[in-house]
Amino acid sequence: MGHLLDPATRQPVHLAATTLVGRGPAADWTIPSRLVSTEHARIAWRQGGWSLKDLGSRNGTFVDGQRLGAGQTTWLQPGMQLSFGADRPCFEVVGIDPPVACATSGTGERVEGSFDFLALTEDEPMATVFLDEHDRWVLERDGAQTLASDREVVVLGDASWTLSLPSNVPETLESLGARSLHAARLVFVVSRDEEHVALEARFPGGSVDLDSRAHHHLLLLLARQRLEDAGEPLAERGWLYADRVAAMLGIQESAMNLHVHRARRQLAQAGLSGAAQIVQRRPNTTQMRLGVDAVDVHLG
């Protein structure tokens, strides 16, 4: 994602999808200088790049020593030197990658995800945030889903997290040529004793080997249900109640939710967009299904 380098601390300044620069309480990036206006400038990802706009600041926004006009916008490039309120200190533009979903805790801890998936906790599935099949941000906790929004505050136990969720994600993914889970054919190779389940995601011109993982047993169960329902309308294929899935796997629902979390995370880490859709949940029910219809199951 985009970031600048702070000349004083030599630490990165990470850019959210929209970053308000200033010294007021609404600022996303606070610069505690009397020369900096309350709402000084805005850095935003749009049209495939990072833009910097002066918001009519009193003392100006400078790019490579040149002051922007009030309300003027420029596009950021690596190596540019930015300053606010004076021509020093200068913050260097280091990264101009697109923004990813991220969150910052009340104590300053920061977690980053991918363009369309964020796990607020690394190992336990307390909460995940992702784009659903309708390109809406969704927060899922313990199998229950609600819509999420940029800058929303999520409370988990004693911690609160402020979400930073990019917009126009489908356009960003398309411009990057990201592989989409929706275009994949999932191929399961199951050992004859069903102890090991290997998984491969195949695409035109390539594939992603996902190896053998414990959570693949859940995906295999859901895949078999989709195959069994092949004669049903597409929207009705593969749905099972979560408690039945857990019972069929011989585990608690909490453990099953952990498998869902790990399956999504594995696909996201493999660089696939739409990773969260590997398991879909039906609104206002406890039903779930595999989110890919093109499935093959082979005995190894």
pLDDT digits (tens, 9 = 90+) for 194-212: 999 999 999 988 999 999 9
Q: Which domains are seen in the chain, by residue range?
A: 3-95 (2.60.200.20), 102-171 (no CATH), 179-299 (1.10.10.10)
Residue 177 above 90 pLDDT?
no
Residue 269 above 80 pLDDT?
yes
Q: Which pLDDT score, from 0 to 100, does residue 124 have?
A: 61
Of 80, 81, 98, 69, residue with least CA distance to 2: 98
The model carries a pTM of 0.82
Band (121; pLDDT cuts 50, 70, 90) = confident
CA end-to-end span of the chain, whole Å?
41
pLDDT (average), residues 73-100: 93
- The beta-strand segments (E) located in 142-293 are 144-147, 153-156, 159-164, 185-190, 197-203, 206-212, 240-241, 279-281, 287-290
Band (229; pLDDT cuts 50, 70, 90) = very high
Q: Using CA atoms, how far apart are residues 188 and 211, in angstroms rounded to an integer?
A: 10
Residue 174 above 70 pLDDT?
no
Band (146; pLDDT cuts 50, 70, 90) = very high
The pLDDT tens digits of the residues spanning 13-62 come to: 999 889 999 999 999 899 999 999 999 999 999 888 999 999 999 999 99
Band (175; pLDDT cuts 50, 70, 90) = low
Residue 123 above 70 pLDDT?
no
Q: Which pLDDT score, from 0 to 100, does residue 4 have?
A: 96
Q: Which pLDDT score, from 0 to 100, does residue 101 have?
A: 92
Q: Facing residues of 130 across strands?
A: 117, 138
Q: Which pLDDT score, from 0 to 100, does residue 57 have?
A: 96
Q: Which pLDDT score, from 0 to 100, does residue 217 have?
A: 98
Q: How many CA atoms lie within 13 A of 233 on its CB side?
A: 2
Residue 268 above 80 pLDDT?
yes
**Lowest-confidence segment of 63-67, 99-103, 240-244 by average pLDDT:** 99-103
> Coil, strand, or helix at residue 42?
strand
Q: Using CA atoms, how far apart are residues 44 and 238, in angstroms rounded to an integer?
A: 41
**Lowest-confidence segment of 53-67, 153-167, 256-270 by average pLDDT:** 153-167
The pLDDT tens digits of the residues spanning 62-76 come to: 999 999 999 999 999
Q: Which pLDDT score, from 0 to 100, does residue 168 have?
A: 73
The dihedral sign for the CA sequence 117, 206, 221, 288: positive
